[in-house]
Amino acid sequence: MKKVELGWILGRYNYWVFVILTLIGFYAMIAKNNLIKKIIGMNIFQTAIFLFYISIADIEGKRAPIIVSNITEHINYVNPLPHVLILTAIVVCVSTTAVALTLIMKIYQEFKTIEEDKIMEAL
Amino acid sequence: MIYIIIQNLPVLIVIIPLITAFLMPIIGLFKIRYCFYTSLISISITLLIGVLILNSVINDGTIHYHIGNWEPPYGIEYVIDYLNTFMILLITSVAFIITIYSRRSVEKELPNNIALFYTLFVLFITGLLGIVVTGDLFNLYVFLEITSLAAYTLISLGEKRDALIASFNYLIMGSIAACFILIGIGFIYTMTGSLNMADISIRLKDLYDSNVVHAAVIFFIVGLSIKIALFPLHTWLPNAYTHAPSTVTALIASLMSKVCIYIMIRILFSIFTVQFFLHTVPVGEILSWIAAIAIILGSINAIAQTDIKRMLAYSSVSQIGYIVLGMGLANYDGLTGSLLHILNHAFMKGCLFLTVGAIIYKTGIRNIYDFKGLAWKMPVTMLAFTIASLSMVGIPPLCGFFSKWYLALGSIKSGKWIFALVILLSSLLNAAYFFRILERALFGKYEHKTDEAPKSMLIPITIMAIGCIVFGIFGQFMEIISKSLI
């Protein structure tokens, strides 16, 4: 068993934030009654994952991976690949949200409510 | 010119339907009738490319295609081996058959949304083909989301307002699954620094004891279990299948879950090898037990239903259990049975949902107690229904028997007799819920006037039913594919 120190926990605070946000988002998705709140939960969940990807790419004190003409040290930058992946994942997240909100709009037109228990009664 | 096209087949199979999907709304503005022909042409071209790829794979072996000429670990690579070729041909041929069928069905069920339907239809096929050709994990996630978004919207097109709720629930479940898969990919990327499947598989060999890798496997399995509707996570499936338009149900039931199972096989057998998931983390053992429960409970639930579409949906839950069972056994016979069942179930369930769609198109019947005497009014449709349902039960010359045979053989060889018993018991339960429909359709008298479904629906149904007979006899080729995986 590795000895857990306070510094070890605090030094990885971005991962703790990832874990907490994931749990908040996941809870909201499965437990909230309001459909819009479920979608907010989904966005929190997905944003937490983006935070995780960006955290693993970052190295403290290193610069952005932009080529400058008089470059001497070529290892002195952060990994750009996860950032690019996250750009794609953001597009996926936005389109999922758009589809979900459109569905909620249609549901509201049909049922006149967006509370899940009232919809289940109406079915 | 021809040479360039032949060189770029793996990417063309994705790009052609993608471009068609973007053109479809514009075509719909000019003449709604052309939408059907455009998608038919586009799907035919992908089917043709599928055949060319098969030819190339058989002659020259696995195809490696580097997008934009970037070398594999850095750029996206498309890899097509035997398993991919099989999936490509399955997707394109089933999509082709369903496209022919869709014309009359869509005209009746979705008269206002024809252009939109074909846009989503072609986009859905794009996503599925993208999943099976890619050799890059993140690319696979993006294509999976394209497919899922198209599927959510296609389901919400259903005529009753329940379809909206079914679609929304599927969206919530599907998004949770997608998030889990994304976390899994992130963990794998942290450990290996690579997204290329072949590259990951090599780099993972030293990391089998790492906790992060174990966590990644669990995230992948749970996420994919939601997507394929494995038993405790299947709750989105019955409503989605019941309320979607008939064409969409046939399409999603025969392709969507199969392609997600393909992803599971790819991840378990190609990225993590058999050694890993049999000995390090007992994923195989857990999966096969869950699958056994899914098989029995799915069948029992199906017996309790009176709506035919809902009954077939629960039957899907049980059939997915068969495929996962063979995968979890992870021996040669079990995996062959699984792969064969992917093919067989696509055709059997496709055939059943198409016939049910034709019956609803003509008579509007959904309750199985109203099937009385229908066999004499719609003989061809009910004959196809009979063939497909006998095949589901597992009567020998039909295809369902052979996949069950391989699965039973696999479970006996790995020393787990109980799974063979589960397969036998489930076949009896299948017989219980199919024979009560067949009995009603054959005996009894149909009161209202009706006649046979139109030809454009009968031909696809007949092709599917012939498929159920033919694949039973020529199922041996699947052994080549499972040999390449283990």
Residue B473 distance to chain A (closest CA, Å): 43
Q: Which of B138, B149, B165 sits opposite A99 (nearest CB)?
A: B149
The predicted pLDDT at position A74 comes to 58
Nearest CA to B105 out of B454, B465, B473, B371 is that of B454
CB-based contact, A21 to chain B, within 8 Å? no
Instruction: Using an 8 Å CB-CB cutoff, list chain A residues near B172.
Output: 29-30, 38, 42
Give, as one character, the DSSP assignment of residue B78: E
The predicted pLDDT at position A72 comes to 61
CB-based contact A123 B167, cutoff 8 Å: no
Q: Which of B142, B152, B167 sits opposite A92 (nearest CB)?
A: B142
Residue A38 distance to chain B (closest CA, Å): 8
Please report the domains of chain A, with CATH numbers, ordered by start residue: 6-61+80-122 (1.10.287.3510)
**How far apart, in whole angstroms, are the C-alpha atoms of residue B408 and residue A122?**
45
Interface pTM, i.e. ipTM: 0.90
What chain B residue is nearest to A98 in terms of C-alpha separation? B149
Q: Which of A45, A92, A119 sits opposite B145 (nearest CB)?
A: A92
The predicted pLDDT at position B162 comes to 85
With vertex at residue A27, the alpha carbon angle to CA B138 and CA B187, rounded to the nearest 5 degrees, is 30
Report the relative pairing of strands B63-66 and B77-80 from DSSP bridges.
antiparallel
The predicted pLDDT at position A22 comes to 92
Token pair listed for B464: 């599917």
Residues of B at the A interface, defined by Cβ within 8 angstroms: 138, 141-142, 145, 149, 152-153, 156, 161-162, 164-165, 167-168, 171-172, 175-176, 178-179, 182-183, 186, 189-190
- B410, B337 in Cβ contact below 8 A? yes
Instruction: Using an 8 Å CB-CB cutoff, list chain B residues near A89.
Output: 141, 182
**How far apart, in whole angstroms, are the C-alpha atoms of residue A113 and residue B232?**
29
Token pair listed for A73: 């040290």
CB-based contact A95 B149, cutoff 8 Å: yes
Residue B317 distance to chain A (closest CA, Å): 22
CB-based contact A103 B179, cutoff 8 Å: no
The predicted pLDDT at position B474 comes to 76
Length of chain A: 123
Q: Which residues of B185-213 are buried (b: 16+ CB within 10 A; e: fewer)?
A: bbbbbbbbebbbbbbbbebbeeebeeeeb
Residue B170 distance to chain A (closest CA, Å): 10
Phi/psi at B64 (5° precision): -115, 120
CB-based contact B172 A45, cutoff 8 Å: no
DSSP letter for each residue of A72-112? --TT-B---HHHHHHHHHHHHHHHHHHHHHHHHHHHHHHHS
What chain A residue is nearest to B190 in terms of C-alpha separation? A56
In chain B, count of helices (H) and strands (E)? 22, 2
The predicted pLDDT at position B207 comes to 80
**How far apart, in whole angstroms, are the C-alpha atoms of residue B325 and residue B401?**
16
SS3 B77: strand
**How far apart, in whole angstroms, are the C-alpha atoms of residue B223 and residue B57?**
31
The predicted pLDDT at position B149 comes to 92
- A75, A61 in Cβ contact below 8 A? no
pTM for this model (two decimals): 0.91
Q: Which of B141, B164, B172 sits opposite A106 (nearest CB)?
A: B164
Residue A15 distance to chain B (closest CA, Å): 12
**How far apart, in whole angstroms, are the C-alpha atoms of residue B131 and residue A5?**
44
- B342, B261 in Cβ contact below 8 A? yes
Q: Which stretches of chain B drop beneath a pLDDT of 70?
A: 475
Does the pLDDT at position A3 exceed 70?
A: no
The predicted pLDDT at position B448 comes to 72
SS3 A76: coil
**How far apart, in whole angstroms, are the C-alpha atoms of residue B451 and residue B470?**
28
CB-based contact B149 A96, cutoff 8 Å: yes
CB-based contact, A57 to chain B, within 8 Å? no
pLDDT tens digits along A50-102: 999 888 887 777 777 776 666 665 566 788 888 888 999 999 999 999 999 99
CB-based contact A52 B171, cutoff 8 Å: no
**How far apart, in whole angstroms, are the C-alpha atoms of residue A108 and residue A114?**
6
Q: Which of A35, A46, A95 sits opposite B179 (nearest CB)?
A: A46
CB-based contact B186 A99, cutoff 8 Å: no
List of residues 6+ apart from B173 with CB closer than 8 A: B226, B233, B235, B236
CB-based contact B182 A89, cutoff 8 Å: yes
CB-based contact, A26 to chain B, within 8 Å? yes
Over residues A33-62, mean pLDDT: 88
The amino acid at A102? T
With vertex at residue B18, the alpha carbon angle to CA A102 and CA B48, rounded to the nearest 5 degrees, is 140
**How far apart, in whole angstroms, are the C-alpha atoms of residue B450 and residue B343?**
33
Cβ–Cβ pairs < 8 A, chains A and B: 70
Length of chain B: 486
Chosen for mutation from B152, B182, B194, B195 (greatest number of chain A CBs closer than 10 Å) is B182
CB-based contact A96 B175, cutoff 8 Å: yes
Please, which residues 60-119 of chain A have a Cβ atom closer than 8 Å to chain B?
A: 82, 85, 88-89, 92, 95-96, 99-100, 103-104, 106-107, 110-111, 119
